[in-house]
């Protein structure tokens, strides 16, 4: 029945030591125990869920339940990227049952992380059970090809377009022939709307699972295509195939080229002399990296065509596909998919727990702060402003410590700004030389310029002139100490806000000593306003840059919407093109059939003798 390839790569099962009568009464596919543990023991019952991220093993989700039946035990369901394991540990065997990390390391010492976060969400159980049961497959598709005597190539197998009586009986045994049009169950990739994958197929339900068979002879046949890609497109993408062998020509597993087909079940009908019933001889072959799967073949591997054989065959097919998933090609893909799903589960549990617990959740924005152009400059300006503000507050507190307490009520009079103290007395500035500290002496280069300043201040009796002077003679000829300009050490100068910079006091009276240097308020205002102007300019630059970034973000959003609209339009166009292509293929298939029919008529006409042709004319 089966001949292994010369270069190897496959194993074959021809029959075990058991007799057909020794098979178990009830045969069912091997379930994935770990996938159903959470629903069976945890869901709807008191338990705890935790999640973590290990440096070596990646994301981890664990469920813990305290069992109190005969002996107090700890039931643990540990989910890793590679595998999900179920453990039941007596509490007496745990050194510390109050520490989650210590409990987990008992069942898996490879775990290095010590931090496990509790899951606090009403939706947690639903998410976890959905992840656990994603490996449970409830629908299967298997390919079926019949091998006629003398056929040894893939092209010959796919060329078979007729169904023999033995093949018809076998199909009726394993399933039900259905019309694909408007089929409501599992369709296995077949077209149930337009009939582009044939009109009929074989379908069945077994132990709560749906099975669709891709019967080669029922799939569309293309006379002009020697490879029959319409058929191979479905059967070549199946994982397990059935070879119905109508003859003694052996089947070789590498006869069919496919990246997905990993296992074959070869069935050969055996006629019993003097009996109308048909028996079936079974052989199994699979690739070397596919583990052996149950139920094992009896010895001899011959079955009667009854429900027992149907149950055995369908169970063998389902377990064959589950075993093929453990092959290297599929296991790597499953491992990657499982890791991505577990990472997504950890992320969802973390987000929902944070939201449910009322903690602030920082969602990523687009664009992020790191990706915004000029963000470092903005941060630098903010730090500079914060530093200046802090320095001003410290100077104000230092000035307060050197002066008597003064109320912050001020009044604007005709002679200037007067700040009153608690005794409601006007405080006048003492600008005599003796009142200044030694380290705050005024340096004068010209006494005449100072006299001019004094005269100018006397003339403005009704109004204090706050003027900005740039490159005037008074500034160029007279320089002030920085401490005097900032009002340090002088109780009559109070540090104000950034809007007015400094509050100056003037009682509009002559000091009586014109030779003493006098503080020019215009210079103080000029020096302080330079700092205000610098801050204002920086703030304006930051504001302009922020507005520019906001406009760019708005523009990007508009571009995104435009791209989405274009994407929708392209998808509609592609749908129309696909419909046209399908219609063209259908028309081409019809024309091909008509052409083949005409060719057959032509061959029949050419085979007629000339005498009969003449009489027909």
Instruction: Please confirm whether the linkage preceding 300 is cis (ω < 30° from 0).
Output: yes
pLDDT of residue 301: 93
Looking at the structure, tell me whether residues 90 and 179 fall in a common domain: no
Give the whole-angstrom CA distance, residue 554 versus residue 105.
51
Looking at the structure, tell me whether residues 184 and 311 fall in a common domain: yes
Is 500 exposed, middle or buried (CB count within 10 Å of its CB: 0-12, 13-18, 19+)?
middle
Q: 448-473: per-residue pLDDT in tens?
A: 554 555 455 545 444 444 444 444 44
pLDDT of residue 475: 39
pLDDT of residue 398: 54
Q: Kindly tell me if the per-residue pLDDT of 401 is higher than 60.
A: no
Q: Spell 561-584 as b/e; 16+ CB within 10 A means b.
A: eeeeeeeeeeeeeeeeeeeeeeee
| pLDDT (mean) for 325-332 | 92
Find, among 429, 413, 426, the residue nearest to 462 by Cα: 413
pLDDT of residue 286: 96
Give the whole-angstrom CA distance, residue 429 versus residue 123.
73
Residues of the chain with pLDDT > 70: what percent?
67
Instruction: Please confirm whether the linkage preceding 67 is cis (ω < 30° from 0).
Output: no
Looking at the structure, tell me whether residues 117 and 213 fall in a common domain: no
Find, among 399, 397, 426, the residue nearest to 410 by Cα: 426
- Name which residue leads in pLDDT, 34 or 399: 34
Q: 584-597: per-residue pLDDT in tens?
A: 989 998 899 889 88
- Name which residue leads in pLDDT, 177 or 394: 177
532, 547, 570 — which closes off a domain?
532
CB atoms within 10 A of CB 221: 19
Looking at the structure, tell me whether residues 128 and 142 fall in a common domain: no
Q: Kindly tell me if the per-residue pLDDT of 289 is higher than 80.
A: yes
Q: 128-142: per-residue pLDDT in tens?
A: 999 999 988 899 999
Most confident of 309-323, 358-372, 556-570: 309-323
The helices-and-strands tally (H runs, E runs) of the chain is 14, 20
Is the torsion defined by CA of 328, 332, 333, 335 positive or negative?
positive
Q: 158-167: per-residue pLDDT in tens?
A: 999 899 999 9
Give the contacts of 215 (CB within 8 A, at least 6 positions apart).
144, 171, 201, 202
292, 324, 356 — which closes off a domain?
324
Find, among 488, 497, 507, 484, the residue nearest to 427 by Cα: 507
Q: 93-112: per-residue pLDDT in tens?
A: 777 777 888 889 889 999 99
| pLDDT (mean) for 491-495 | 42
Q: Kindly tell me if the per-residue pLDDT of 269 is higher than 90.
A: yes
Find, among 382, 348, 343, the residue nearest to 543 by Cα: 382
C-alpha triplet 530, 532, 537: angle, nearest 5°: 95
- Average pLDDT of the chain is 77
Is residue 610 assigned to a domain? no
- Residue 534 corresponds to which tokens in the numbers above? 């610098």
Q: 113-131: per-residue pLDDT in tens?
A: 999 999 999 999 999 999 9
How large is the greatest C-alpha to C-alpha distance in the chain, in angstroms? 154
Exposure on the CB side of residue 98, measured as CA atoms within 13 A? 0
Phi, psi (deg, nearest 5) at residue 205: -125, 135
Looking at the structure, tell me whether residues 42 and 156 fall in a common domain: no
DSSP 2: B
Is residue 356 assigned to a domain? no
Give the C-alpha distances (Å, rounded to integers) separating 601 from 258, 293, 607, 614. Answer: 38, 52, 10, 17
82, 106, 135 — which closes off a domain?
135
Phi, psi (deg, nearest 5) at residue 100: -65, -40
Looking at the structure, tell me whether residues 390 and 524 fall in a common domain: yes
Looking at the structure, tell me whether residues 142 and 199 fall in a common domain: yes
pLDDT of residue 459: 52
Look-up of token digits 């703030």: 539
- Among the residue ranges 146-150, 319-323, 360-364, the one predicted with the least confidence is 360-364
Give the C-alpha distances (Å, rounded to integers) separating 459 from 205, 451, 470, 506, 512. Answer: 110, 13, 22, 14, 16
Spell out where 375-473 has E strands.
Answer: 410-413, 416-419, 443-444
Residues of the domain holding 109: 33-135
Looking at the structure, tell me whether residues 222 and 194 fall in a common domain: yes
Distance from CA of residue 215 to its chain's centroid?
38
Give the C-alpha distances (Å, rounded to integers) separating 80 from 54, 109, 115, 338. Answer: 10, 13, 16, 9
| 144: helix, strand or coil | strand
Is residue 547 assigned to a domain? no
Looking at the structure, tell me whether residues 429 and 306 fall in a common domain: no
pLDDT of residue 531: 56
Looking at the structure, tell me whether residues 106 and 128 fall in a common domain: yes
Is 179 exposed, middle or buried (CB count within 10 Å of its CB: 0-12, 13-18, 19+)?
exposed
Is residue 354 assigned to a domain? no
| pLDDT (mean) for 562-567 | 89
Are 323 and 263 in contact, with CB atoms under 8 Å apart?
A: yes
- Name which residue leads in pLDDT, 474 or 24: 24
C-alpha triplet 398, 401, 403: angle, nearest 5°: 110
Looking at the structure, tell me whether residues 103 and 226 fall in a common domain: no
Is residue 608 assigned to a domain? no
- Residue 328 corresponds to which tokens in the numbers above? 């290297």
Phi, psi (deg, nearest 5) at residue 14: -110, -10
Is residue 332 assigned to a domain? no
pLDDT of residue 481: 42
Is the torsion defined by CA of 473, 477, 480, 482 positive or negative?
positive
pLDDT of residue 48: 95
- Residue 189 corresponds to which tokens in the numbers above? 């990739």
Q: 52-67: per-residue pLDDT in tens?
A: 999 999 999 999 999 8
Is residue 50 assigned to a domain? yes
- The CATH number of the domain holding residue 148 is 3.40.50.11210
**Per-residue confidence at 386, pLDDT binned at 50, 70, 90?**
low
Looking at the structure, tell me whether residues 126 and 159 fall in a common domain: no
- Residue 538 corresponds to which tokens in the numbers above? 């920086």
Are 500 and 413 in contact, with CB atoms under 8 Å apart?
A: no
Are 63 and 128 in contact, with CB atoms under 8 Å apart?
A: yes
Q: Kindly tell me if the per-residue pLDDT of 410 is higher than 70.
A: no
**Per-residue confidence at 395, pLDDT binned at 50, 70, 90?**
low
Give the C-alpha distances (Å, rounded to integers) separating 298 from 13, 245, 312. Answer: 10, 19, 11
Give the whole-angstrom CA distance, residue 183 versus residue 198.
13
Most confident of 230-239, 489-498, 523-532: 230-239
Q: 330-344: per-residue pLDDT in tens?
A: 999 989 999 999 999
| pLDDT (mean) for 529-543 | 70
Q: Kindly tell me if the per-residue pLDDT of 400 is higher than 70.
A: no
Is residue 376 assigned to a domain? no
Q: How many domains does the chain have?
A: 3
Q: Kindly tell me if the per-residue pLDDT of 615 is higher than 60.
A: no
């Amino acid at each position: 029945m089966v001949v292994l390839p010369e270069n190897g790569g496959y194993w074959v099962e021809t029959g075990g030591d058991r007799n057909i009568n020794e098979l178990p009464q009830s045969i069912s596919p091997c379930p994935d125990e770990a996938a159903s543990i959470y629903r069976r023991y945890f869901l709807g019952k008191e338990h705890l869920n935790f999640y973590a991220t290990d440096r070596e093993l990646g994301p981890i989700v664990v469920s813990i339940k305290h069992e109190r039946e005969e002996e107090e035990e700890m039931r643990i369901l540990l989910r890793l990227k590679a595998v999900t394991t179920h453990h039941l540990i007596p509490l007496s065997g745990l050194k510390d049952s109050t520490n989650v990390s210590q409990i987990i390391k008992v069942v898996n010492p490879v775990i290095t992380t010590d931090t496990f976060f509790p899951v606090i969400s009403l939706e947690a159980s639903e998410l976890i059970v959905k992840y656990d049961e994603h490996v449970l497959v409830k629908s299967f598709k298997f390919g079926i090809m019949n091998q006629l005597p003398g056929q040894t190539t893939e092209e010959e197998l796919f060329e078979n377009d007729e169904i023999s009586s033995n093949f018809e009986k076998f199909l009726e045994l394993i399933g039900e022939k259905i019309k694909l049009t408007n089929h409501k169950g599992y369709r296995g990739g077949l077209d149930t709307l337009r009939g582009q994958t044939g009109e009929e197929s074989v379908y069945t339900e077994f132990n709560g699972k749906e099975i669709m068979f891709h019967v080669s002879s029922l799939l569309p046949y293309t006379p002009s295509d020697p490879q029959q890609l319409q058929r191979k497109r479905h059967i070549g993408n199946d994982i397990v195939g059935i070879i119905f062998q109508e003859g003694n020509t052996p089947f070789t597993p590498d006869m069919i080229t496919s990246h997905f087909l990993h296992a074959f079940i070869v069935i050969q009908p055996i006629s019993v002399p003097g009996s109308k019933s048909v028996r079936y001889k079974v052989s199994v072959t699979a690739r070397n990296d596919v583990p052996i799967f149950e139920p094992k073949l009896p010895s001899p591997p011959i079955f009667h065509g009854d429900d027992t054989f149907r149950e055995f065959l369908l169970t063998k097919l389902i377990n064959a596909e589950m075993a093929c998933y453990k092959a290297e090609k599929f296991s790597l893909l499953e491992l990657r998919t499982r890791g991505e799903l577990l990472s997504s589960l950890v992320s969802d549990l973390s987000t929902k727990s944070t939201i449910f617990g009322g903690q602030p959740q920082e969602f990523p924005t687009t664009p992020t702060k790191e990706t915004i152009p000029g963000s470092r400059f903005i941060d630098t300006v903010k730090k500079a402003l914060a530093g200046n503000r802090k320095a001003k507050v410290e100077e104000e507190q230092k000035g307060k410590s050197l002066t008597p307490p003064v109320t912050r009520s001020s009044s604007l009079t005709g002679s200037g700004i007067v700040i009153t103290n608690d005794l409601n007395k006007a405080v006048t500035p003492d600008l005599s030389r003796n009142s200044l500290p030694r380290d705050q002496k005024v340096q004068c280069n010209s006494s005449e310029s100072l006299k001019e300043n004094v005269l100018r201040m006397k003339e403005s009796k009704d109004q204090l002139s706050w003027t900005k002077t740039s490159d005037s003679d008074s500034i160029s000829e007279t320089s002030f100490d920085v401490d005097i300009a900032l009002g340090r050490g002088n109780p009559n100068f109070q540090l104000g806000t950034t809007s007015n910079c400094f509050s100056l006091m003037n009682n509009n009276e002559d000091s009586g000593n014109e030779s003493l240097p006098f503080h020019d308020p215009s210079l103080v205002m000029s020096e302080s306003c330079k700092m205000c102007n610098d801050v204002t300019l920086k703030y304006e630059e930051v504001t302009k840059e922020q507005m520019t970034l906001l406009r760019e973000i708005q523009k990007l959003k508009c571009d995104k919407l435009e791209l989405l609209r274009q994407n929708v339009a392209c998808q509609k166009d592609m749908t129309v093109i696909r419909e046209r292509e399908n219609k063209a293929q259908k028309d081409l298939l019809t024309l091909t059939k008509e052409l083949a029919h005409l060719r057959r008529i032509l061959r029949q006409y050419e085979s007629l003798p000339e005498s009969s042709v003449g009489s027909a004319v």
